């Protein structure tokens, strides 16, 4: 059995669904169900005894202690995080609380639990912390991609709190011997991603006839990683990664923002064409975002060299799968947009105003 935090969010839920589809091992799924946690994503697991869902805050030490004692997991996979740059600028306290205090709480609970295990179980235990390449800051267009040895240069409250969590994980491994693993992923996309993120926001806005925002000059570059590939990489690292190591997970897909918008529009023109014109007609240019790093790119050669992993999807194939999924699952987006997510967005926009 493994314990997963944040398993009702985008990447966490995809991981849980993927894990239980291919691995004969139960999951304890701990999620606070904030705006980005949606139980509808986990509907395929309803009634599955291998999926144990617990609504809890990772900062609640007593609950985490009870879960570890009762279920005796062999690993913790830590996805739970506040993870939106714009929102971290508006409400940094939430990010400090979840990303730093929450990770500290989990590490301490894991350390106490791990110290009480028998020697074989202690050797087999893993604490895998899912981080981001954004902790390394921004790259110029001519710079080489981020490696695991890149300097930390976080540029927003979100990135700073994730960097802080990374340092805590490293320190608990070095000081206490807790067998930790850290992953740095590039921008994820795929099914079940909330519509506050670029690709689902583009798709949703396009289908609803809304403006398709492009910030600044549209030349910002991101390395895109299909979420299914991310899940397979985490499985590989959990099984074979060396304790104390960090591994970059990238898609080798650097794409300019304006090119991404054009690709999404062209796929929507193919899968759900408008009565007249193209979805490109809805593109609207906006001013630059605060804290908007110019370029991210992730060097994932260590993961391929040491563990034999590389992404299965190209950006073209992964994006086509993603756009088709959203076109065919508009009900899921509707459920999200009319629930806690909508209320949270309205409150956030009121705070900004």
Residues designated as active site:
133-134, 158
Cα separation values, 127 from 123, 177, 192, 232, 257, Å: 12, 11, 25, 17, 34
Report the alpha-carbon angle 37-341-19, nearest 5: 20
Answer for the pair 30, 3: CB distance below 8 angstroms, yes or no. Answer: yes
Find, among 232, 183, 194, the residue nearest to 21 by Cα: 232
Q: Sign of the C-alpha dihedral, residues 145, 150, 154, 158?
A: positive
Which residues does 115 contact at the CB level (< 8 Å), separation at least 6?
A: 122
- Degrees, nearest 5: CA angle 134-135-137: 70
Backbone angles phi, psi at 36, to 5 degrees: -90, 0
DSSP 223: E
User: φ, ψ for residue 78 (rounded to 5)?
Assistant: -105, 95
Distance CA 80, CA 94 (A): 13
CA atoms of 279 and 70, how far apart (whole Å): 52
CB 213 within 8 A of CB 289: no
Phi, psi at 343, each rounded to 5° = -60, -40
Side-chain half-sphere CA neighbours of 245 within 13 A = 13
Is residue 85 a contact partner of residue 161, using CB atoms and an 8 Å limit? no
Our CA dihedral for 161, 167, 171, 177, rounded to 10 degrees, sits at 90
- Rounded-to-integer distance, Cα 89 and Cα 182, Å: 25
């Amino acid at each position: 059995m493994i314990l997963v935090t944040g398993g009702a969010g985008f990447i966490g839920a995809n991981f849980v669904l993927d894990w239980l589809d291919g691995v004969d091992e139960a999951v304890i799924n701990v999620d606070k169900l904030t705006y980005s946690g949606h139980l509808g994503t986990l509907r395929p697991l309803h009634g599955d005894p291998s999926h144990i869902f617990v609504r809890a805050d990772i900062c609640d030490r007593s609950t985490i202690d009870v879960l570890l004692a009762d279920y005796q997991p062999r690993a913790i996979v830590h996805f739970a995080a506040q993870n939106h740059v714009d929102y971290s600028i508006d409400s940094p306290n939430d990010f400090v609380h979840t990303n730093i205090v929450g990770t500290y709480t989990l590490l301490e609970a894991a350390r106490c639990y791990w110290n009480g295990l028998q020697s074989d179980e202690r050797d087999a235990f893993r604490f895998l912390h899912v981080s981001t390449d954004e902790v390394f800051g921004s790259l110029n267009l001519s710079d080489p991609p981020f490696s695991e040895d890149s300097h930390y240069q976080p540029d927003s409250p979100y990135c700073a709190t994730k960097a802080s969590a990374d340092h805590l994980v490293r320190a608990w491994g070095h000081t206490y011997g807790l067998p930790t693993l850290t992953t740095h992923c590039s921008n994820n996309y795929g099914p079940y991603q909330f519509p506050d993120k670029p690709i689902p926001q583009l798709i949703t806005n396009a289908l609803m006839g809304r403006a398709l925002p492009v910030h600044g000059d549209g030349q910002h570059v991101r390395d895109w990683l299909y979420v299914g590939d991310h899940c397979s990489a985490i499985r590989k690292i959990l099984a074979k990664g060396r304790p104390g190591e960090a591994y970059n997970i990238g898609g080798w897909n650097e794409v300019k923002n304006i090119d991404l918008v054009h690709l999404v529009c062209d796929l929507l023109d193919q899968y759900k064409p408008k009565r007249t014109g193209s979805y490109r007609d809805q593109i609207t240019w906006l001013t630059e975002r605060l804290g908007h790093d110019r370029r991210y790119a992730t060097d994932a050669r260590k993961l391929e060299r040491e563990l034999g992993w590389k992404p299965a999807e190209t950006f073209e194939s992964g994006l086509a799968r993603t756009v088709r999924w959203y076109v065919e699952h508009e009900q899921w987006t509707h459920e999200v947009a009319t629930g806690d997510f909508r209320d949270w967005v309205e409150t956030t926009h009121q705070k900004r105003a």
